[in-house]
Homo-oligomer: A and B are copies of this chain.
Amino acid sequence: MTQVAHAFTGVSPAIVRLGKLAPLGRAEIEALEAEVANSFRLPGRAELLHEGRAVGRARLMLSGWAARVRYLEDGRRQIMSFVLPGELIGHCTQAQAVAVSTVTALDEVVACAAPAPGSHAALDAAYAVGQAREEAYLLAQIVRLGRMNAEERITGLLLELLHRLDEAGLVRDGGFDAPLTQEMLADVTGLTPVHVNRTLQVLRRRGDIEWKSHRVRIADPDALAERIGFVARRVTAE
């Protein structure tokens, strides 16, 4: 973990996203920036949290993607969810907490300590909303895996990612950068890499998506959402 300094522009997407969960005041932004100044960088494959080990202080993802993963004894791997810029790792209200899942960096990740809860009410609100969202993402993932076919799983996931990244301002020209290989996509959708490949081809030929060298574009998100019945869930009344 190397200490590095960042210009505000480099890290702002994360704070932008956090601020959308609950409106942050001047004090909260300052508390965040103080932590951002001490952000650290992790290479791909590094572990941010290890299942069964004590959860230290919560961390805030500033850039890069991480994944909550679990391995079966015979090597099967399941990615349970992604952690994107502006999202928290290891946030919990429990004292003696132990990580329930390993969190692995998928590419180079920049993160910082999350300001401790209890000091800023607005930040606590954002944490609470963030936690509720995380739960909603897990539920959506369960529905994808339990009741959707390969096409629906992939498009549903991509639409969710589009929404989440959009909130962090990480969507440009209707597309986003994703550090995902087809194998990772298989591990998150519960499919095999081969089948993911074939399904992507169908989606590409049909003009639904473009996916080239880690850049994903969805032609018509609303139409696609309509077609597969995707809904972005609210976790809070306005």
Is A233 on the interface with B (CB-CB < 8 A)? Answer: yes
Q: Which chain B residues border A142 with CB–CB below 8 Å? A: 78, 80-81, 138, 141-142, 145
> Which residues 128-170 of A sit at the B interface, judged by CB distance below 8 A?
128-129, 131-132, 135-136, 138-139, 141-143, 145-148
CB A70 to nearest CB in B, in angstroms, measures 5
- Chain A: number of interface residues, binned into ranges: 35 or more
The answer to whether A135 and B132 have CB atoms under 8 Å apart is no
Secondary structure of the A contact surface, majority rule: mixed
Central interface residue in A54, A136, A147, by most chain B CB within 10 Å: A147
Selecting from A7-15, A96-104, A200-208, the interface stretch reads A96-104
CB A135 to nearest CB in B, in angstroms, measures 6
Selecting from A87-95, A105-113, A210-218, the interface stretch reads A87-95
Q: A132-B92, A235-B98 are in contact. Are A190 and B73 (CB under 8 A)?
A: no
Interface flags, A49-73, vs B, CB<8A=1, else 0: 0011010000000000000101011
Residues of A within 8 A of B (CB): 51-52, 54, 68, 70, 72-74, 76-78, 80-81, 92-98, 100-101, 124-125, 128-129, 131-132, 135-136, 138-139, 141-143, 145-148, 188-190, 229, 233-238
